[in-house]
Amino acid sequence: MQFWPGLEYQQLSLLPQLQAEGFTTHAIDPHEDDAAAIQAIAKTAPVNWLVVDHYGLDAAWERAVQGSVMNILVIDDLADRRHDCDVLADQNLGRNARDYDALVPAGTQLLIGPAYALLRPEFARARTAALARRAEGGP
């Protein structure tokens, strides 16, 4: 089951694509208490992973939904607030795991650095050509 809290109206067009790929989706009204909405939705089916990518959310919010979901993955790129999650991904160049020492629980799996960049498959497929252009002095 996938959750997409805080989706803006313009982003709702992603829902049909996600559903076509076999994901169960729930659009949560941005004016709704999204933690309470996730808790209510989770009562209808088990939630294996909740993916959180939001600058306004932190450990307090994550703790509020922990009892409703099995795992939480946080996508972060600031390293400026506490998180209480199972996995944290920060794809920034120059970031290192020590940046999160005081910000996540000891057992959190950290996926740090550009090796964990979240890219669509077409970017990965274009990498060889891009590296060849760079070697030839191109952009």
pTM: 0.79
Give the residue from 39, 128, 51 showing the smallest Cα distance to 86: 51
pLDDT value of residue 138 = 67
pLDDT value of residue 1 = 44
Q: Are 103 and 81 in contact (CB under 8 A)?
A: yes
Condensed to tens digits (0 to 9), the pLDDT of residues 21-64 reads: 998 888 788 778 999 999 999 999 899 989 899 999 999 999 99
* Structure token pair of residue 127: 């990498």
- Report the first-to-last Cα separation within the chain, whole angstroms: 41
Residue 6 pLDDT level (bands cut at 50, 70, 90): low
pLDDT higher than threshold 80 for residue 102: yes
Residue 123 pLDDT level (bands cut at 50, 70, 90): confident
pLDDT higher than threshold 70 for residue 15: yes
